[in-house]
Amino acid sequence: MSKEISKEKFWKLYNTLPQELKDALFAEETGDNAEEACKKNNAEEHLDGVVDFVGQVLLGIISPADFKDVLEKKLGIDPERARKIDQEIFRTIFYPVKAVLEIVGKATSAPTEVAAEKEYVAPAGVTEEKPSSPQRPDSYREPIE
């Protein structure tokens, strides 16, 4: 796989994947589709990197939405070719497993969402004012008898 992830991390992530993504990750068709996308766009020299990043998307490391940017930044593919490769790979590899990828993506992004929901703590020296209760009667409330 990638030089960026260890074998241990790869297998740990792999073992948590739904079967559909496990199958797609090692499917011969996945490699063939990536190769075809590179050939169509004269990017055969980037095939190994493209296949590597396809694998990272299937593992949930990279979002399918970020795939094009990764091709541009990490592999140095020009934006137009990266866009075309991204479209081809999305259509042939990512789209058939789109629903499962979305589930995996939500599971991997959950810790950041939880962190965002933490209670706000005011900086030292700053006091928070609690809103006072309304001074006039609320015309929408019925009186309690």
pLDDT value at residue 1: 40
Q: How far is CA 29 from CA 14, 53, 56, 139, in A?
A: 19, 16, 16, 67
In whole angstroms, what is the distance from residue 20 CA to residue 23 CA?
5
| % of the chain with per-residue pLDDT over 70 | 72
Predicted confidence (pLDDT) at residue 127 exceeds the cutoff of 60: no
Residue 127 vs residue 15, higher pLDDT: 15
pLDDT value at residue 81: 95
In whole angstroms, what is the distance from residue 95 CA to residue 101 CA?
9
How many other CB atoms are there within 10 angstroms of residue 99's CB atom? 11
Residue 57 vs residue 117, higher pLDDT: 57
- 1 contacts: CB under 8 Å, gap ≥ 6: 7, 10, 52, 55, 56
Question: H helices then E strands: how many in the chain?
Answer: 7, 0
pLDDT value at residue 133: 59
Domain borders along the chain are 7-114
Q: Are 15 and 61 in contact (CB under 8 A)?
A: no
pLDDT per residue over 25-38, tens digit each? 999 999 999 999 99
Q: Are 63 and 57 in contact (CB under 8 A)?
A: yes
Query: Per-residue confidence at 114, pLDDT binned at 50, 70, 90?
Result: very low
Query: Per-residue confidence at 65, pLDDT binned at 50, 70, 90?
Result: very high
Q: What 3-state DSSP class applies to 10?
A: helix
pLDDT value at residue 144: 76
